[in-house]
């Protein structure tokens, strides 16, 4: 679930206009990436967003015995 949440955060962040390029350098991108990863892990340690459970419920009927 942490991986899916991190991907969701990254995708949402990509929709934000960058603005001034000087203020958005590689160090800031690294910081944002680490922040997204940490927040995603923390969310998944609790009850989470339910993504893992929902994905499991959607895929289990497709598994052939």
Report in angstroms the alpha-carbon separations of 33 from 10, 13, 38, 54, 63: 8, 10, 9, 25, 34
The per-residue pLDDT for 11 is: 94
Would you place residue 53 in the very low, low, confident or very high pLDDT band (cuts 50, 70, 90)? confident
pLDDT of residue 23: 63
Domain that holds residue 30: 2-62
Distance between CA atoms of residues 29 and 22, nearest Å: 12
pLDDT in tens, 3-49: 989 999 999 998 988 776 656 688 888 999 999 999 999 988 888 78
- pLDDT at position 1, please? 85
The predicted pLDDT at position 45 comes to: 87
The total number of structural domains that make up the chain = 1
Question: Given this model, what pLDDT does residue 24 score?
Answer: 67
């Amino acid at each position: 679930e942490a991986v899916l949440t991190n991907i969701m955060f990254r995708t949402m962040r990509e929709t934000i206009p960058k603005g001034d390029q000087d203020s958005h350098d590689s160090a800031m991108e690294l910081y944002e990436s680490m922040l997204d990863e940490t927040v995603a892990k923390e969310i998944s340690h609790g009850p989470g967003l339910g993504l893992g459970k929902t994905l499991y419920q959607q895929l289990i009927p497709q598994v052939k015995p």
